[in-house]
A = this chain, B = another copy of it.
Amino acid sequence: MRLALAQINPVVGDLAGNRELILEHLAEAKREHADLVVFPELAVTGYPPEDLLLRRGFVRAAEESLEAIAAATRGLSVVVGTPFRDGDELYNAAALCADGAVIAHVKKRHLPNYGVFDEKRYFTPGTETRLFVIAGKQVGITVCEDMWLPGPPTTELAQAGAELLVNLSASPFHLLRDREREEMFRLRARDSGVAVALCNAVGGQDELVFDGHSLVIDANGELVARAPGFIEHLLVVDLDDPGSGTVAPRRDELEQMREALVLGLRDYVRKNGFGEVVVGVSGGIDSALTAALAVEALGAERVHCVSMPSRYSSSGTRDDAQRLAENLGCDFRELPIEPVVEAFAGVLAGSFEGREPDLAEENLQARIRGTLLMALSNKFGWLLVATGNKSEMSVGYATLYGDMAGGFALLKDVFKTDVFRLSRYLNEQAGRELVPESTIDRAPSAELRADQLDEDSLPPYPELDRVLEAYVEEDRTLEELSADGFDPEVVSRAVALIDRAEYKRRQAPPGVRLRPKAFGRDRRTPITNRWRS
């Protein structure tokens, strides 16, 4: 049997576009003489369609789209993910199509309803398991979570005599997720003694990135073929000739971070109909990394850099902002904000009389910058990319409607320590300076008052990031963190800041999810919440 795994990048809700994409890959699989071509989970609609699934007209249209796909299946079998209404129930299904028609729907049995997943909101679980004969082989079809859990349907299909288990996935990325996934599928193949083929989606959808890395594994659990990550690919393998499979190399953590951020941004821009983006560059490292990644995602000609110095901006950061744009080859402009600061001060003078300058004046500068960037965004149709990192977003060290403003917050799941690592890595990979070295070397400062340093307000980032990782990612309690040897004062300060910043995060733009807890729908915390520990 010649098997093709079509690792494609659908767009949620774009039924016509997804159909076209599926038909193109189907035609290519035919040209490759495949007997069977497999598409990802819910490829017909894109994943996750969320509450579009509650609209009957949407599901009806998806069914019609599937019919049109099935009509093109002459000479090979096709398995494609699609929603399937059966009576009053809706299923997350894999449709098997051949000879111009839909032959069968296989219903997903294990519905994930944790982390970023809400599948029990929409779907009824399937209960049946059966095999299909395709090109003379006994084939079992499963959908994503079905094979993440031991037991049925995998064991049932193996007992029934399966020779190949096909799995359709839209398995979201987090760092090194490909390793976990590959290990898990190898384990299933080994335990069941059946070859396994995983077709995973690729592409960015709001906060999620799907990383591809589709796989073919033999009945001994040995890897036969692996598609590359983060790009579309048709992986073709002759199952009777395992040597026919190509194995794309694995990427390390930093490279995965880079690729996920680039793909996530590129797809958000493209799928939402934007052409160009604008980034406020301060001379600091967050905005430098954001701009550098944006250039990689979109090309320098589609990235606009804007420096907005105030009286507190040093000549070092002003120069670095300009140098960054030169390094990247981007459009650059400098819009000094001082006249606007003074105009606001005049309007507020009566109200603020007798009060010392404080956070209000600092936030004002950030909001003036946000407002300037949004004015450019509105005037020229550029998507504003916000530059805040995960460490800041965690503790609320960011200004709502100021530096948090934007359509996409690229680094929202990148810890500050990783911002440094990734900036150095980009320079290394480029073999030249992209992020200015002086930016990397300078101590972080918001430059919203004289001689301000982030470390005046926050624990040092290496220490803070370790606490964040333990508290946010691992849900450790205050007590446990102290027992782990963290400084109790740092911990209780950080935890209080994290919980109080929920209202800010709720109004933050989406950004690429890199870790299991990205402050998106993977971490649903009430705003009104008096729990502190």
Contacts and interface: CB of A to CB of B under 8 A. Distances in A.
6 contacts: A113-B120, A267-B528, A271-B530, A343-B344, A360-B376, A506-B509
Contact of A526 (B205, B405, B503): B205
A484 interface: no
Given A347-B372, A506-B510, 9 more contacts: A51-B524, A57-B478, A348-B372, A351-B379, A359-B378, A363-B375, A401-B405, A506-B509, A510-B527
A51 B473 CA distance: 13
Closest 3 CB pairs of A and B: A13-B531, A57-B477, A343-B343
A438 to B, nearest CB: 26
B343 A12 contact: no
A272 to B, nearest CB: 6
Interface of A: 11-15, 17, 48-52, 54-58, 61, 113-114, 118, 120-121, 204-206, 267-268, 271-272, 333, 335-337, 339-340, 342-344, 346-348, 350-352, 355, 358-360, 363-364, 367-368, 370-372, 374-376, 378-379, 400-401, 405, 407, 475, 477-480, 503, 506-510, 523-533
Contact of A51 (B358, B523, B532): B523
Identical subunits present: 2
Given A374-B400, A477-B56, A379 B350 contact: no
B378 A351 contact: no
Nearest to A55: B475
A530 B347 contact: no
Contact of A118 (B58, B118, B206): B118
B401 A379 contact: no
Contacts of A350: 333
Contacts of A479: 57
A503 B510 CA distance: 9
